[in-house]
Structure 1
Amino acid sequence: METKTQRNEQLEKIRELVKDIRIAMMTTIDDQGNLVSRPMATMQMDENGTFWFFTKKSAPKVDQIDKHEHRVNLAFAHPDEASYVSVSGSADEVYDRAKIDELWSPAAKPWFPDGKDDPELTLLKVHTELAEYWDSTSSRMVRFLEMARAAVTGDTYKEGENQKVYNS
């Protein structure tokens, strides 16, 4: 995923945590009010904290976004690094040929056989309103030892840094 330096300095930590995570779980609300998630290849986090995805115009998520006030959640996980990010925001379907050209990769062709000219190809942009992250700067061994210490002593496990970041 391409990430750009953030205009909102608080989002810079979010950019650092998600830059190597290619797949996000995007959650929307279906017609029955259920939360439904699906993996999505993140194409870019731009300088405004907006995440960009390719999708099909006829995909159920596009309709779900329109019907439910454009609310979505993105979840990013890097378990090996013990870092996790949750992004809530508003999503819109956008057809922008210049942005499609900028983001296009041959890796998208299996989903869009006609390439950038596929009539089903459109973009989803998700504007970050609130991002929350959990990040441990410790190695896996240090985290394991801290869990063992907490279990033996009865203390609470100290997980690392947790913070909410608002994007206006």
Structure 2
Amino acid sequence: MTQHISDDEARIKVRELIKDIGFVMLVTTDQEGSLSSRPMAVMAVEGDKVWFFTDANSPKTMEIGRDHEVLLACANPSGQAFVSVSGRARVLQDEAKQKELWSEGARLWFPKGHKSENLALIEVDMLGAEYWDSPGSKVLFAYGYVKALVAGKTPETGENAKVRFKGG
């Protein structure tokens, strides 16, 4: 069931879900026109922007250079939370921003920290999103299953909303 919430509330929900899940699949278009996807750790969600660290010479940076349109998809199946975001990406090297967003978890890929020579940022401006946030409890799921089986009624599925962001 789709719940009716304001666009501002839906935008807040999208931001919170992305932060809580912490990882996304970043989908770009490769040089043959095929979709290419890879997991990325979310470094920050600021307003309508999602930030990631990347290697400046990686294939995804080349793909973003050719086609700025990207998709972010993230899921927490055990919590029954899912988000899909369409956006516009750009790659930049900004030492101050890299220092601000630095996390020791990134040292695995960038041993010299925020000053690593190939460290770059991917900034994604969110244009539009859809999310699904359902009750994650197995007990609630089991109750919904029994209700559907016995009463022939579909269970409450939680929140689902589509929202546009300022750039979309």
Q: TM-score, normalised by structure 2?
A: 0.86
Task: Tell me the residue number matched to 1:66.
Answer: 65
Aligned residues: 159
Cα shift at 1:138: 5.8
Task: Tell me the residue number matched to 2:4.
Answer: none
Aligned partners of 2:56, 2:9: CA distance in 1, in Å?
34
Higher RCO, Cα 8 Å, sep 6+: 2
Point out the structure with the larger helix share: 2
Residue-by-residue CA offset, 1:74-129 (whole Å, 9 max, x unaligned): 11111122111111100000111111010112211121122222111000000000
Further displaced range: 143-152 or 34-43 = 143-152
List gaps (5 residues or longer) in structure 2. 1-7
Q: 1:1-168 alignment to 2 at 5 Å?
A: 9-46=9-46, 48-68=47-67, 70-137=68-135, 139-168=137-166
Aligned partners of 1:137, 1:62: CA distance in 2, in Å?
37
Which secondary structure does the structure 1 equivalent of 2:110 belong to? coil
Residue-by-residue CA offset, 1:137-161 (whole Å, 9 max, x unaligned): 4633112221233244444454221
Aligned partners of 2:58, 2:136: CA distance in 1, in Å?
40
List gaps (5 residues or longer) in structure 1. 1-7
Distance 1:9 1:161, change over 3 A: closer
Which secondary structure does the structure 2 equivalent of 1:112 belong to? coil
Aligned partners of 1:35, 1:131: CA distance in 2, in Å?
19
